[in-house]
Amino acid sequence: MEPPIVATVDRRSVTALFSRLRTSRGQTDPYPHYAELRSMGDIVPAPWGGHVVTSFGLCEHILRSRDWLVPDARWRQQQGAATRWTAASSREMAQTLPSLNPPEHTHVRKATAAMFDRRSLRALQHVVEKSTETLTGRLSERLHSREADLHTAVSEELPVTVIGKWLGLPPADYARLRELTHEQVFAQELLPSASQLARSDAATEQLRDYFTTLIRQRRARPGSDPVSACLRAWDALEPDREAADKAVHRVVFFVLLAALETTATLLTHSVLHLLQHPRQWHWLRAHPDQVPAAVEESLRFDPPTHVISRIAGPGAAIDGVGVEAGSMVHLLVGAANRDPAQHLEPDTFDVTRRATHLSFSAGMHYCLGASLARQEAVTLVTALLDRFPRLRLARAPEWAPRVAFRRPLTLYVTDSR
Ligand code: HEM
């Protein structure tokens, strides 16, 4: 018998399942837990309130529907003081693009999208290639007759180098910015603890100070970099200089947060799944034009972002049944990408399939950095296939105990020449 669309489940079993998912062990392979959740129904009541959705079709429908909204500043305030939604880090996030609803979202997205035009991305390709060459060169030195951690040496370095060069940030700041983004992400996790929120608040404050200084400097000495370009674009839209500075601050702050950890995870996952499937790794050596398809399959099979949240607007309904306005749904895109109703043999990693996924979201909040993230992953996998054809996994990788944002901690490899 088909499971019901909205399941009636034992709260304790769902609580236990999420407790397992929130451990490093659960993150080593979260997919059997998702399958268990799916077997309960397409929509499962979340023990902490709202619902969890695992079906690809429903997740996509909600993401594309105008009846569903993002948790914006007003909604967060309504949740009351002393909730995760009123923490300083959450209030800061509420001002950024992915937390805005129309009409504000439409206006800010248009101004932000100007930074991601084709010309800028083409110019960045050179930076991606040069940085990949330098980092794989360093990896080669480390691999000399021993194992090396590709995640730390390459995946964590490439995104911050690319964004840093793009925004014109001093390389001496990269390590600190990377650590601050890892700390800040806790505010965007599924169920952050009080101590995690405190770490996120502290990181948010440091990032705020950092970008306030940066914007002051770019005001004093404007250049051809995207921060100066963004200031010029906002000055044209916003007569109040202080308001324009704040708008640019939110853009740059969010771009840094959005770009670093997620892309590092994509890089490591793309390499990991190919090394775990050596035949596909070797097949790609003979078919380098298929590397983009392999990156898409990695995005489907094991995406960096696993949960996207939405709030029911006044007209929202699921399967024709009205949903209370203001209630939250957690779209488990990591599970949706493996929905058997969407893909044949969804648990098989297969670079030759035409992978469809929700890893960059869908609808009006679709990721603005998707092309750049893809560019970095394709460039890195191509360079590794070329430079280290006999690359092997040295030991099983480890993941941080997260749920919404997967975070690999290591990827030890050897080059068995
Ligand atoms: C593999 C890497 C990445 C993944 C998996 C990813 C994922 C996502 C997802 C799921 C969303 C939508 C959230 C929602 O619908 O509520 C999003 C939005 C966004 N991402 Fe990415 N992202 C990645 C890389 C990047 C990069 C490299 C940048 C910038 C350089 C970036 C910039 C943005 C921006 C500005 C938005 C907000 C769009 C909006 O709300 O209109 N992302 N990203």
pLDDT digits (tens, 9 = 90+) for 289-324: 999 999 999 999 999 999 999 999 998 988 788 889
pLDDT for res 297: 98
Q: Which residues line ligand 1 (CB under 6 A)?
A: 70, 97-98, 109, 112, 254-255, 258-259, 262-263, 266, 303-305, 308, 359-361, 365, 367-369, 372-373
Flag whether pLDDT at 376 surpasses 80: yes
If you measure from the C-alpha of residue 257 to the centroid of ligand 1, how many angstroms do you get, rounded to a whole number? Answer: 9
Mean per-residue pLDDT, 105-120? 87
Mean per-residue pLDDT, 372-390? 97
Mind listing the pLDDT tens digit for each residue in 320-366?
Answer: 888 899 999 999 999 999 999 999 999 999 999 999 999 999 999 99
Nearest CA to ligand 1 atom 43: 367
Nearest CA to ligand 1 atom 39: 365
Confidence category of residue 5, pLDDT binned at 50, 70, 90: low
Nearest CA to ligand 1 atom 36: 367
C-alpha neighbours within 13 Å on the C-beta side of residue 69: 24
Q: Which atom of ligand 1 is nearest to the CA of 100?
A: 40
**Range from 7-21, 122-136, 148-162, 194-208 carrying the lowest mean pLDDT:** 7-21
| Domain ranges across the chain | 11-415
Nearest CA to ligand 1 atom 19: 367
Q: How many CB atoms lie within 10 A of CB 322?
A: 11
If you measure from the C-alpha of residue 217 to the centroid of ligand 1, how many angstroms do you get, rounded to a whole number? Answer: 27
pLDDT for res 117: 80
- At 366, the amino acid letter reads Y
Mind listing the pLDDT tens digit for each residue in 154-186?
Answer: 999 999 999 999 999 999 999 999 999 999 999
If you measure from the C-alpha of residue 255 to the centroid of ligand 1, how many angstroms do you get, rounded to a whole number? Answer: 8
Q: Which atom of ligand 1 is nearest to the CA of 372?
A: 27
Mind listing the pLDDT tens digit for each residue in 209-243?
Answer: 999 999 999 999 998 888 988 898 888 888 899 99
Q: Under CATH, domain 11-415 is a member of which superfamily?
A: Cytochrome P450 (1.10.630.10)
pLDDT for res 3: 47
Confidence category of residue 7, pLDDT binned at 50, 70, 90: low
Mean per-residue pLDDT, 12-23? 93
Mean per-residue pLDDT, 362-387? 97
Flag whether pLDDT at 1 surpasses 70: no
Mind listing the pLDDT tens digit for each residue in 28-59?
Answer: 999 999 999 999 999 999 988 899 999 999 99
pLDDT for res 113: 86
Mind listing the pLDDT tens digit for each residue in 62-89?
Answer: 999 999 999 999 999 999 887 899 999 9
pLDDT for res 417: 62
If you measure from the C-alpha of residue 406 to the centroid of ligand 1, how many angstroms do you get, rounded to a whole number? Answer: 14
If you measure from the C-alpha of residue 395 to the centroid of ligand 1, how many angstroms do you get, rounded to a whole number? Answer: 30
pLDDT for res 379: 98
If you measure from the C-alpha of residue 362 to the centroid of ligand 1, how many angstroms do you get, rounded to a whole number? Answer: 10
SS (H, E, C) the chain: CCCCCECCCCHHHHHHHHHHHCCHHHHHCCHHHHHHHHHHCCEEECCCCCEEECCHHHHHHHHHCCCEECCCHHHHHHCCCCCHHHCHHHHHHCCCHHHCCCCHHHHHHHHHHHHHCHHHHHHHHHHHHHHHHHHHHHHHHHHCCCCEEHHHHHHCHHHHHHHHHHHCCCHHHHHHHHHHHHHHHHHHCCCCCHHHHHHHHHHHHHHHHHHHHHHHHHHHCCCCCHHHHHHHHHHHHCCCHHHHHHHHHHHHHHHHHHHHHHHHHHHHHHHHHHHCCHHHHHHHHHCHHHHHHHHHHHHHHCCCECEEEEEECCCCEECCEECCCCCEEEEEHHHHCCCCCCCCCCCCCCCCCCCCCCCCCCHHHCCCCHHHHHHHHHHHHHHHHHHCCCEEECCCCCECCCCCECCECCCEEEECC
If you measure from the C-alpha of residue 165 to the centroid of ligand 1, how many angstroms do you get, rounded to a whole number? Answer: 19
